[in-house]
Amino acid sequence: MPNFFEFEADFVDSLRCIPMQVRQKLDTSGIKLKLSDWSHLTKLERETLVELPCSTEAEIQSYRKYLHNLILERTGTPAAELLIEPNPAWLDAKNVPTNLQEKAREFGVMLSSQQWAELTPLQRFALIKLSRPSHENQNFPKALKEFHLF
């Protein structure tokens, strides 16, 4: 069942941007997908990437293979690879990442360990991604509100 966030509402219908649940699957499967590559995909292909499972080792490998083939077919170039983190921070419900905590402080929020633990892995993933310096961060405060963190 697809799980879109409210802060993604402006592009969910068209899937013109890569939703967080797909970004999490990309990080999990070790595939880098640029927005320009995403734009080469049909809406049905984008929906398929949203809906395909990517949790078990078999699902991860299947997702990876499907995406590799799809990118090659649509762009003519192989998909770029990402280093797969063996213990990604979004799966660690006990430790709030320091850079995330620093970004939250900019908005007057101090995340407690309990608040962090109560978030879903996808919510933790979204906060981590949205708090990175390379990200434009416009959705970070929206995510904090949506997740009832302030």
The reply to whether 103 falls in a domain is yes
The reply to whether 102 and 118 lie within a common domain is yes
Rounded Cα distance, 99 and 106, in Å: 11
Domain ranges, residue 34: 6-81
pTM: 0.93
The reply to whether 20 and 67 lie within a common domain is yes
Question: pLDDT (tens digit, 9 = 90+) per residue, 116-126?
Answer: 999 999 999 99
The first and second tokens of residue 126, run together, are 């979204």
The reply to whether 74 and 133 lie within a common domain is no
The reply to whether 141 and 103 lie within a common domain is yes
The reply to whether 39 and 72 lie within a common domain is yes
Three-state secondary-structure class, residue 33: coil
Question: pLDDT (tens digit, 9 = 90+) per residue, 51-77?
Answer: 999 999 999 999 999 999 999 999 999
The CA R_g of the chain, rounded to the nearest whole Å, is: 16
Say if CB 53 and CB 38 are below 8 A apart: no
